[in-house]
């Protein structure tokens, strides 16, 4: 107090005016001095740079004697304080600030008053522990509904302002519906609420809406803005992420179930590290995977890995800490006390989390379906197994006979040999194909190579072989003259061969099996002999190109030939794009490949004497016989295989999550945030110096879970303040701290800091319950005020910081559409699930990269799902969303702006979705009972505005209706076009069209899309 | 209180003016309702001024409008603007290691061989500016053009590079050039958006992020004019709804909104009324804009709006691209005539990793004639003085070849030295600025960073690049990020 007194004397003495003395009493560092320093001084005298060794965000530096011998501030002594001398100096080399305009008279006055009054210094408000101030006393106790109102009213009473009256009940119910579930109340719901005289009608309505599934959608979407949720990768390729929606569903369900905000944070940041993490806790970490992915050719993955880490670090900084950490990525923060090393300490937590995929076990209906299908197939298998078991006892001596015969056959030992055809000639049915038959028997193909069917005919005679032909061998060979060395003629060296046939004279011979050293996936060698010449039924060899390959085709029955027997091999190709064999050799095969007679394990078993075989071996041999040889049982095994193939897999979805690395990465500070320029300074995971330290679960080791626990711990004052501010913003259209993403020294100081702290503390007291916190706010008298602007406040409080009224604001992009679909009766009320594709104007998706994505408009109910389910492609988002300020989801967004543009007007008037809503709305209105046009119109308007419309309003709309009616009666040919698919029964098209035009106008009312 | 009386009088006055506007119907109501309402003061209180109302620059500037030709995908400066005899001489050799030491590439490796240019060069105009044989028409504008051969960027993937060129930094969430200009200067157009985007070819990698408004209000986002169907999305009334009923609907809507405004006194309602009226005017002005029937046959021919598509094509072709691009050039002039501040004409793609000798001539033929026609047309109409024309891309292409050096070879991404063109709007033509080294690898003389380009562009518009700022997340952002210097040599 003595200081204050001295100060008054000093000031009066120095200025000879009482004005400053009056102001000086109110000078506070936090509200008057710190913002001025932040605005004009900290860039050069702050945490990052300290010109002349001085930093103005530290008391010790302010008071310290500098090299010049002067101190910046000597409390109580204007004449000795260098800062005062410099800001008032006439010398251009001396005057501060050195950049920009000199300080204004009132700024200088404030600084002088502050120094004179003793230079009281406070730490920045946002880093201090929550204050535990009691709600203040107020004059008008009757206005107060809960403690929030005391803070608001005390300030208003101090300023001599009366709060606004409670809003009309019609507005209150509309406000609650819009705010809590994002849907309009029906006229019946409005009537019920308005006529409910019970004292808890309002509270009951709040409870009902909070319990609604739609609350999860409404407030889940708010969170998804922060989580920068989207359905595609971003960057050039912007590939779709078809399973991204599992994270969205996780958020919606968590919000619906009112998961406490601390748990909500922990699971998203480090759900994978929780002890015995549940599948859905691992899924929650998909939060980190909402970062962009660059799959552009030639992109350096390390660069974009770092970009994602920056985003993770900064997103958390914005969402939970309200700090602009991004500044400290490149250099120590210019204004806030966040050194660059602090940034990389946080960064280090995420540097140790790797991106990974996780097969999320599905629950609910997919799981039920799986169980049903599995049981059905198990039952089927059981029946077959019984049949097999029975067959095993009934094979008689066939088993023994087979063993004997097979042993004999193997004993003959006739290894395969290959023989070229004599007098071989190669021709084609396509003109211009050249064949060069070389001495070696190899054939080089050249010349014409058209698309479609082409047959190579290899004709010749059998030489002197002396034993039966058992099959043919086809070699496909490489050659330098072929593209990529062949063996095919396609640019990559591949070929497709669809069918191979062997003819003796004119008789086609049957093949029994085919083998190759290699086959391309889906182009198996067996397709060469399946009798199918279709394009996709053929043999090919990618990716094993530039290498020779061969196929062996076994005849079903050995073929007796003599020298000179005419034989022809047909190579049938039915494919496009120059996929033709470029070099080949065809030979006859004699003898038998033991492997073709019986596989090695079976041959080994046969070699044993029956008495030497153990039970398992006996079983194996019998099994082989019954499965592959014995005609009576082969079908049974085939049936079993078929059934087994149908056995479903346990349903799961591959989702993008993160997982902790086994071996931690070393994190180094990056010079100016450049991943190519790591400095020598290594940092360990850790917290911010301005906040309480992080304590780990294990001594000397910190991981993401420790970080998450710390974030929402009792000691950390920022998250409850920041999160309470987010709620306030959604319910008042502005936060108590209006710079929602900047609680730092350059951010705006809250007008009601004590209220913010009370809310923050209450949030924790309520067990971090989002619903209870919202309930507290919306049941306050402050929230329930009317939102009409008040002339007398326009100059005193132009942006309504004192909250002497509620605010009016347009609803968000998704909700604009939801409202229209809802009143028209089209809106689907399905909750959760995959993204949908409502109609998109042609050409929008085509504008992004390479048309890599087709927007196929959804059918049926999916056209009418709520807006938050619309597929969000980052480089080509749905224009109806973007036009109404839906964020682009490339970075976190804690506050949407609300613009007001002609494109919005065009969208609501003319866009397909909104026109359809008008048509359906008109039909719905025409199908209701009404005594007159006027009556019907009143009903229609009530759907949009809740309240009863005024007489002139209704009359104005009826005027429009009549004008439209006259037009469509005169132009009946136009009417069906406007009515579209929504022609009500028993009404003429002109009448219906007139109502569509009127309904369309009603849906465009400002009041309809404004939360009042 | 007198104040209340004033308010009533002004409301009355406002109502009369609006009635006038109604009867005056569409585009004829020369003054935007928004500004009428604004003049009325009360109805559109200072809380919601028209964000696109024309604003004074920081100092008088020569440029008023800008047409930016964004050649997405990165054209080869070596084959268009920057002849390199030395490169041709050393064709097939590797670069000295000293030059490639600290660089990275997108696709090629350091052992790639130098690829000489198949083009021939010729000097044009009094200034003797050189252009390759692919750009004879642009050559004929040489004395009006500034050619900058020393641009460099630090981004070498397309999307970040494109963001860098449009936003001054290769990251997301920032406003694009056109947004900054309408933010700084507003729009002169009453009936059209201030920032328009036209696109030919396959579409750019960056998609809609290249005309986003970032953290600036969405009023400053570019509006994409479309080639097929309606020029602006949702411009046409629903089928079966004639203009007269559209007007009647809007009258009803306005009266109802007006009633709400009188009760709630929220200036946003006045803005909403104004938005609907501007939308209504756009419904007639946009179709008028794309209707070329008032253009002479000579003009249509000069711009090549009906010419045949050049042969070959590849990645630069999507339908008849030559006609599409010619139309967009003519549309750009018509927009500037109508007060549009910034027209971004995008043409993609120039990403010639292969087949450059086959495909580059196609792309060049698509743009050469119409852009030259536009520059001459602007000049004849006396519009070139205050219309800045810029031709550029996110980066250039490597002197090293990609592929085997045969005809199917191409070039890789190259941000270290590339070329841009500028004309009009206070730019001094007939000069070549800066130099790349003998291989076209690095900048030899007078390097120009993209931030410098933006700083100089803003300067031509009378805007001081360090003062054109917007506070976001605690920082004053600007188009020039943390760099940028005005290049005085460029100024007329």
Same domain, A495 and A570: yes
B218-227 mean pLDDT: 82
Same domain, A541 and A429: yes
- A598 DSSP assignment: S
User: Is A262 a domain residue?
Assistant: no
Q: Which residues pair with A570 in a beta bridge?
A: A457, A501
Domains in chain A, number: 5
- A464 DSSP assignment: S
CB contact under 8 A, B233 and A238: no
Among A716, A736, A753, the domain-final residue is A716
A724-752 mean pLDDT: 91
CB contact under 8 A, B173 and A888: yes
User: Is A879 a domain residue?
Assistant: no
> What's the pLDDT score for residue A556?
83
pLDDT in tens, B51-76: 678 899 999 999 999 999 999 999 99
User: Is A112 a domain residue?
Assistant: yes
Residues 103-142 of B with CB under 8 A from A: 104-107
Q: Which of A757-771, A927-941, B394-408 has the lowest mean pLDDT?
A: B394-408
Q: How far apart are CA B74 and CA A37, in angstroms?
A: 45
Same domain, A539 and A566: yes
Query: What is the distance, to the nearest Å, from the Cα of residue B106 to the centroid of all Cα atoms in its chain?
Result: 27
Nearest to A905 among B7, B206, B279 (CB): B279
User: Please, is A408 exposed, middle or buried when counting C-beta atoms within 10 Å of its C-beta (0-12, 13-18, 19+)?
Assistant: exposed
If one compares B410 and A899, the residue with the highest pLDDT of the two is B410
Contact A216, A831 (CB under 8 A): yes
Q: What are the φ/ψ torsions at residue B331 (nearest 5 degrees)?
A: -60, -40
Kindly list the residues from chain A whose CB atom is less than 8 angstroms away from the CB atom of residue B473: 318, 324, 326, 741-742
User: Is A570 a domain residue?
Assistant: yes
Contact B303, B370 (CB under 8 A): yes
Q: Which of A122-131, A254-263, B335-344 has the lowest mean pLDDT?
A: A122-131
H helices of A625-713, in order, are 631-645, 704-711
Q: How far apart are CA A440 and CA A463, in angstroms?
A: 16
If pLDDT is split at 50, 70 and 90, which confidence band does B274 have?
Answer: confident
Element (H, E) at A994: helix A989-1003
- CA proximity to B347, closest of B7, B59, B72: B72
Contact A773, A762 (CB under 8 A): yes
If pLDDT is split at 50, 70 and 90, which confidence band does B402 have?
Answer: confident
> What's the pLDDT score for residue A844?
73
> What's the pLDDT score for residue B407?
65
pLDDT in tens, B352-373: 988 899 999 999 999 999 999 9
If pLDDT is split at 50, 70 and 90, which confidence band does A600 have?
Answer: confident
Most confident of A187-191, B88-92, B273-277: A187-191
Element (H, E) at A469: strand A469-476
Among A62, A91, A122, the domain-final residue is A122
- SS3 label, residue B37: helix
CB contact under 8 A, B233 and A1004: no
User: Please, is A597 exposed, middle or buried when counting C-beta atoms within 10 Å of its C-beta (0-12, 13-18, 19+)?
Assistant: middle
State how far residue A935 is from chain B, nearest Cα, in angstroms: 18
- SS3 label, residue B283: helix
Query: Do you know the residue count of chain A?
Result: 1012
Contacts 24+ apart (CB under 8 A), A648-652: A648/A370, A648/A373, A648/A374, A648/A377, A649/A370, A650/A361, A650/A370, A651/A361, A651/A362, A651/A366, A651/A367, A651/A369, A651/A370, A652/A359, A652/A360, A652/A361, A652/A362
Cis amide bond preceding A543, omega within 30: yes
Same domain, A404 and A512: no
User: Cα-Cα-Cα-Cα dihedral of B226, B230, B235, B241, to 10°?
Assistant: -170
Same domain, A655 and A584: no
A594-617 mean pLDDT: 84
Q: How far apart are CA A718 and CA A259, in angstroms?
A: 20
Q: Please name the residues in contact with B347: beta carbons below 8 A apart, sequence gap of 6 or more.
A: B69, B70, B71, B72, B199, B200, B201, B316, B321, B325, B363, B366, B367
A671-700 mean pLDDT: 91
> What's the pLDDT score for residue A409?
78
Residues 2-41 of B with CB under 8 A from A: 3-4, 7
Q: What angle do CA B135, B136, B140 make, to 5 degrees?
A: 120
Angle of helix A147-159 relative to helix A753-765, nearest 10 degrees, comes to 180
pLDDT of residue B24 exceeding 50, the answer is no
CA dihedral over B3, B5, B10, B11, signed as positive or negative: positive
Query: In this structure, how many other beta carbons lie within 10 angstroms of the beta carbon of residue B15?
Result: 13
If one compares A156 and A392, the residue with the highest pLDDT of the two is A156
Q: Which of A414-428, B245-259, B423-437 has the lowest mean pLDDT?
A: A414-428
pLDDT of residue A467 exceeding 90, the answer is no
Kindly list the residues from chain B whose CB atom is less than 8 angstroms away from the CB atom of residue A964: 245, 248
Most confident of A517-531, B222-236, B376-390: B376-390
pLDDT in tens, A66-114: 888 888 888 888 888 888 888 888 888 888 888 878 888 888 888 888 8
Q: How far apart are CA B89 and CA B440, in angstroms?
A: 13
Nearest to B158 among A236, A977, A1000 (CB): A236
> What's the pLDDT score for residue B27?
27
In order of their start, the domains of chain B are 2-49+243-285 (no CATH), 65-230+302-490 (3.40.720.10)
CB contact under 8 A, B245 and A903: no
> What's the pLDDT score for residue A804?
97
pLDDT in tens, A535-576: 999 999 999 999 999 999 999 888 999 899 999 999 999 999
- CA proximity to A135, closest of A776, A727, A591, A775: A776
- A318 DSSP assignment: I
Sheet holding A566-575, edge to edge: A422-428, A452-461, A566-575, A499-504, A507-509
Q: Which residues pair with B224 in a beta bridge?
A: B197
Q: Which of A79-93, A388-402, B103-117, B157-171 has the lowest mean pLDDT?
A: B103-117
CB contact under 8 A, B203 and A967: no
- The CA R_g of chain A, rounded to the nearest whole Å, is 40
- SS3 label, residue A662: coil
The mean of the pLDDT values for chain B is: 86
> What's the pLDDT score for residue B271?
83
User: Is A273 a domain residue?
Assistant: no
B271 has a chain A CB within 8 A of its CB? yes
If pLDDT is split at 50, 70 and 90, which confidence band does A44 have?
Answer: confident
pLDDT of residue A680 exceeding 70, the answer is yes
pLDDT of residue A919 exceeding 90, the answer is yes
pLDDT of residue B35 exceeding 50, the answer is no
State how far residue A710 is from chain B, nearest Cα, in angstroms: 24
State percent of chain B over pLDDT 90: 63
pLDDT in tens, A947-970: 999 999 999 999 999 999 999 999
CB contact under 8 A, A1012 and B264: yes
User: Cα-Cα-Cα-Cα dihedral of A966, A967, A970, A972, to 10°?
Assistant: -110
pLDDT in tens, A17-30: 333 333 445 677 87
Nearest to A324 among B204, B257, B475 (CB): B475
Q: How far apart are CA A751 and CA A799, in angstroms?
A: 12
User: Is A29 a domain residue?
Assistant: yes
Same domain, A68 and A114: yes
pTM over 0.80: no
If one compares B60 and A625, the residue with the highest pLDDT of the two is B60
Q: What are the φ/ψ torsions at residue A456 (nearest 5 degrees)?
A: -100, 130
If one compares A846 and A801, the residue with the highest pLDDT of the two is A801
A575-587 mean pLDDT: 94
Q: How far apart are CA A236 and CA A304, in angstroms?
A: 13
Same domain, A354 and A440: no
pLDDT in tens, A965-1000: 999 999 999 999 999 999 999 999 999 999 999 999
pLDDT of residue B406 exceeding 60, the answer is yes
> What's the pLDDT score for residue B104?
67
Residue found by looking up tokens 């406040």 in the block: A793
Same domain, A931 and A1001: yes
> What's the pLDDT score for residue A122?
79
Angle of helix A770-778 relative to helix A753-765, nearest 10 degrees, comes to 140
pLDDT of residue A776 exceeding 90, the answer is yes
Nearest to A298 among B157, B237, B280 (CB): B157
Q: What angle do CA A917, A919, A925 make, to 5 degrees?
A: 100
If pLDDT is split at 50, 70 and 90, which confidence band does B23 have?
Answer: very low
User: Is A804 a domain residue?
Assistant: no
Parent domain of A333: 293-362+651-716
> What's the pLDDT score for residue B6?
39
Q: How many CB pairs under 8 A join A and B?
A: 248
DSSP states of B427-475: B--SEEE-EE-TTSSSEEES-EEHHHHHHHHHHHTT--TTT-EEEETTE
Same domain, A525 and A386: no
- What is the largest distance, in Å, between two alpha-carbon atoms of chain A? 133
Q: What are the φ/ψ torsions at residue B235 (nearest 5 degrees)?
A: -75, -40
pLDDT of residue B214 exceeding 90, the answer is no
pLDDT of residue A63 exceeding 60, the answer is yes
- SS3 label, residue B329: helix
User: Is A164 a domain residue?
Assistant: no
If pLDDT is split at 50, 70 and 90, which confidence band does B50 have?
Answer: low
Same domain, A500 and A606: no
pLDDT of residue B87 exceeding 80, the answer is yes
Same domain, A576 and A656: no
Residue found by looking up tokens 């809590």 in the block: A180
The mean of the pLDDT values for chain A is: 90
CB contact under 8 A, A296 and B205: yes
> What's the pLDDT score for residue B26?
27
> What's the pLDDT score for residue B102?
65
CB contact under 8 A, A292 and B224: no
Q: Which residues pair with A418 in a beta bridge?
A: A589
Query: What is the distance, to the nearest Å, from the Cα of residue A448 to the centroid of all Cα atoms in its chain?
Result: 51
CA dihedral over A724, A688, A311, A278, signed as positive or negative: negative
Angle of helix A201-211 relative to helix A213-226, nearest 10 degrees, comes to 70
Kindly list the residues from chain A whose CB atom is less than 8 angstroms away from the CB atom of residue B33: none
Same domain, A316 and A388: no
Instruction: Write the CATH number for A560.
Output: 2.60.40
A190-194 mean pLDDT: 97
Residues 364-383 of B with CB under 8 A from A: none
Q: Please name the residues in contact with A612: beta carbons below 8 A apart, sequence gap of 6 or more.
A: none
Most confident of A96-110, A406-420, B314-328: B314-328
A323-347 mean pLDDT: 88
pLDDT of residue B442 exceeding 70, the answer is yes
């Amino acid at each position: 107090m003595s200081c204050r007194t001295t100060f008054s004397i000093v000031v009066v003495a120095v200025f000879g005016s009482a004005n400053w003395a009056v102001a000086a009493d109110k000078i506070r560092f936090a509200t008057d001095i710190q913002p001025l320093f932040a605005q004009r001084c900290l860039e050069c005298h702050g945490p990052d740079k300290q010109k002349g060794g001085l930093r103005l965000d530290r008391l010790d530096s302010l008071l310290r004697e500098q090299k010049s011998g002067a101190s910046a501030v000597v409390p109580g002594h204007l004449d000795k304080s260098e800062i005062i001398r410099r800001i008032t100096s006439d010398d251009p080399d001396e005057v501060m600030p050195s950049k920009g305009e000199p300080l204004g008279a009132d700024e200088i006055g404030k600084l002088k008053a502050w120094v004179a009054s003793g230079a009281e210094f406070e730490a920045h408000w946002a880093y201090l522990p929550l204050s535990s101030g009691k709600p203040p006393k107020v004059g008008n106790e009757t206005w107060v509904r809960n403690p929030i109102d005391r803070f608001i009213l005390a300030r208003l009473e101090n300023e001599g302002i009366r709060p606004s009256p409670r809003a009309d009940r019609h507005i209150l119910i509309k406000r609650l519906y819009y705010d809590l579930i994002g849907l309009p109340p029906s006229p019946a719901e409005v009537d019920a609420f308005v006529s409910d005289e019970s004292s808890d009608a309002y509270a009951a309505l709040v409870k009902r809406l909070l319990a609604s599934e739609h609350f999860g959608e409404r407030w889940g979407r708010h969170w998804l803005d922060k989580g920068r949720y989207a359905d595609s990768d971003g960057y050039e390729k912007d590939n779709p992420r078809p399973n991204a929606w599992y994270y969205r569903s996780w958020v919606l369900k968590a919000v619906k179930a009112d998961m406490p905000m601390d748990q909500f944070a922990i699971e998203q940041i480090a759900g994978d590290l929780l002890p015995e993490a549940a599948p859905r806790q691992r899924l929650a970490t998909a939060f980190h995977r909402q970062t962009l992915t660059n799959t552009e050719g030639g992109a350096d993955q390390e660069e974009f890995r770092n970009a994602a880490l920056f985003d993770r670090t900064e997103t958390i900084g914005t969402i939970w800490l309200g700090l602009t950490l991004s500044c400290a990525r490149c250099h120590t923060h210019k204004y806030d006390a966040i050194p660059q090393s602090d940034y990389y300490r946080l960064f280090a937590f995420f540097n140790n989390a790797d991106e990974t995929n996780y097969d999320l076990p599905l629950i609910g209906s997919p799981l039920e379906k799986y169980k049903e299908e599995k049981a059905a197939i198990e039952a089927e298998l059981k029946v077959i197994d019984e049949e097999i078991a029975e067959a095993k006892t009934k094979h008689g001596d066939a088993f023994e006979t087979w063993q004997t015969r097979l042993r004999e056959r193997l004993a003959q030992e006739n290894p395969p040999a290959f023989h070229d055809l004599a007098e071989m000639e190669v021709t084609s049915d396509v003109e211009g194909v050249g064949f060069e038959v070389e001495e070696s028997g190899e054939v080089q193909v050249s010349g014409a190579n058209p698309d479609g069917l082409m047959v190579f005919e290899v004709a010749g005679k059998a030489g002197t072989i002396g034993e039966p032909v058992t099959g043919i061998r086809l070699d496909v060979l490489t050659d330098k003259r072929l593209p990529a060395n062949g063996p095919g003629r396609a640019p990559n060296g591949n070929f497709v061969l669809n069918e191979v046939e062997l003819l003796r004279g004119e008789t086609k011979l049957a093949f029994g099996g085919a083998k190759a050293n290699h086959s391309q996936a889906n182009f198996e060698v067996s397709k060469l002999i399946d009798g199918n010449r279709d394009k996709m039924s053929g043999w090919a060899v990618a990716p094993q190109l530039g290498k020779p390959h061969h196929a062996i085709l076994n005849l079903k029955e050995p073929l007796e030939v003599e020298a000179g027997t005419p034989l022809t091999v047909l190579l049938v190709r039915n494919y496009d794009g120059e996929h033709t064999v470029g070099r080949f050799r065809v030979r006859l095969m004699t003898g038998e490949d033991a492997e073709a007679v019986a596989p090695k394990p079976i041959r080994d078993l046969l070699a044993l004497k029956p008495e030497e075989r153990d039970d398992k071996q006996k079983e194996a041999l019998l099994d082989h016989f019954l499965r592959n040889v014995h005609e009576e049982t082969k079908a049974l095994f085939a049936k079993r295989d078929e059934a087994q193939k149908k056995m479903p897999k346990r349903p799961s979805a591959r989702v993008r999550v993160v997982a902790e690395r086994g071996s931690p990465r070393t994190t180094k500070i990056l010079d100016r945030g450049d991943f190519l320029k790591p400095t020598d300074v290594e940092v360990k995971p850790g917290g911010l110096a301005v906040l309480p330290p992080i304590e780990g679960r294990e001594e000397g080791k910190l991981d993401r879970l420790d970080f998450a626990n710390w974030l929402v711990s009792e000691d950390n004052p920022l998250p409850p303040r920041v999160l309470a501010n987010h709620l306030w913003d959604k319910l008042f259209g502005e936060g108590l701290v209006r710079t929602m993403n900047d609680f730092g020294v350059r951010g705006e100081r809250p007008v009601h800091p004590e209220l913010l702290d009370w809310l923050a503390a209450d949030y924790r007291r309520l067990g971090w319950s989002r619903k209870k916190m919202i309930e507290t706010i919306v049941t306050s008298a402050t929230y329930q005020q009317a939102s009409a602007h008040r002339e007398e406040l326009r100059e005193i409080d132009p942006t309504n910081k004192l909250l002497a009224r509620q605010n009016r604001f347009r609803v968000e992009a998704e909700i604009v559409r939801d409202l229209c679909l809802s009143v028209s009766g089209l809106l689907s009320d399905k909750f959760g699930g995959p993204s949908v594709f409502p109609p998109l104007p042609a050409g929008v998706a085509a504008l992004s990269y390479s048309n890599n994505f087709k927007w196929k408009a959804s059918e049926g109910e999916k056209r009418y799902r709520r807006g938050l389910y619309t597929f969000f492609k980052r480089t080509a988002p749905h224009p109806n969303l973007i036009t109404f300020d839906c964020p682009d989801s490339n970075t976190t967004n804690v506050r949407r702006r609300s613009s007001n543009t002609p494109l919005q007007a065009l969208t609501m008037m003319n866009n397909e979705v909104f026109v359809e809503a008008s048509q359906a709305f008109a039909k719905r209105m025409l199908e209701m009972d009404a005594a007159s046009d006027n009556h019907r119109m009143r009903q229609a308007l009530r759907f949009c505005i809740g309240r009863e419309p005024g007489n002139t309003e209704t009359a104005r709309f009826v005027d429009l209706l009549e004008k439209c009616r006259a037009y469509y009666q005169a132009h009946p040919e136009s009417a069906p076009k406007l009515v579209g698919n929504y022609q009500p029964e028993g009404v003429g098209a002109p009448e219906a069209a007139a109502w569509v035009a009127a309904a369309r106008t009603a849906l465009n009312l400002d009041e309809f899309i404004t939360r009042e | 209180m007198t104040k209340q009386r004033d308010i009533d009088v002004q409301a009355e006055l406002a109502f009369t003016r609006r009635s006038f506007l109604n009867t005056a119907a569409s585009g004829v109501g020369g003054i935007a309702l928004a500004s009428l309402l604004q003049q009325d003061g009360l109805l559109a209180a200072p809380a919601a001024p028209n964000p696109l109302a024309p604003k004074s620059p920081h100092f008088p500037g020569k440029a008023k409008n800008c047409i930016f030709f964004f050649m997405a995908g990165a054209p080869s400066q070596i084959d268009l603007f920057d002849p390199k005899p030395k490169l041709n001489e050393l064709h097939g050799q590797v670069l000295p290691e000293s030059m490639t030491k600290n660089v990275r590439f997108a696709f090629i490796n350091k052992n790639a061989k130098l690829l000489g240019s198949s083009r021939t060069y010729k000097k044009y105009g009094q200034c003797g500016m050189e252009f390759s044989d692919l750009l004879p028409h642009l050559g004929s504008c040489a004395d009006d053009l500034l050619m900058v051969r020393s641009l460099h960027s630090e981004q070498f993937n397309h999307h970040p590079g494109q963001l860098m060129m449009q936003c001054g930094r290769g990251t997301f969430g920032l406003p694009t050039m056109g947004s900054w200009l309408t933010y700084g200067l507003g729009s002169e157009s009453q009936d059209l958006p201030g920032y328009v985007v036209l696109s030919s070819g396959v579409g750019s990698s960056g998609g809609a992020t290249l005309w986003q408004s970032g953290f600036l209000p969405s009023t400053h986002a570019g509006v994409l004019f479309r080639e097929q169907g309606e020029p602006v999305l949702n411009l046409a009334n629903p089928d079966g709804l004639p203009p007269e009923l559209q007007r009647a609907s809007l009258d009803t809507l306005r009266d109802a909104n007006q009633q709400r405004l009188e009760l709630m006194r929220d200036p946003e309602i006045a803005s909403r009324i104004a938005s609907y009226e501007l939308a209504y005017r756009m419904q007639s002005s946009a179709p008028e804009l794309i209707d070329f029937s008032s253009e002479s046959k000579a003009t249509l021919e000069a711009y090549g709006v009906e010419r045949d598509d050049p042969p070959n094509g590849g990645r630069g072709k999507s339908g008849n691209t030559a006609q599409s691009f010619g139309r967009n050039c003519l549309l750009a002039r018509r927009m500037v005539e109508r007060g549009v501040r910034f027209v971004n004409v995008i043409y993609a793609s120039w990403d010639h990793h292969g087949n450059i000798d086959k495909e580059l001539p196609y792309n060049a033929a698509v743009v050469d004639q119409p852009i030259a026609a536009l520059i001459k047309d602007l000049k004849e109409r006396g519009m070139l003085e205050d219309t800045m024309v810029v031709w550029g891309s996110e980066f250039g292409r490597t002197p090293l070849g990609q592929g085997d050096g045969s005809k199917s070879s191409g070039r890789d991404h190259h941000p270290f030295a590339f070329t841009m063109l500028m004309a009009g709007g206070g730019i001094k033509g007939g000069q070549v600025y800066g130099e790349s080294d003998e291989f076209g690898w690095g900048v030899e003389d007078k390097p120009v960073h993209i931030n410098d380009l933006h700083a100089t562009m803003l300067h031509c518009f009378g805007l001081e690049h360090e003062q054109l700022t917007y506070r976001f997340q605690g920082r004053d952002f600007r188009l020039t990020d943390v760099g940028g210097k005005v290049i005085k040599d460029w100024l007329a």
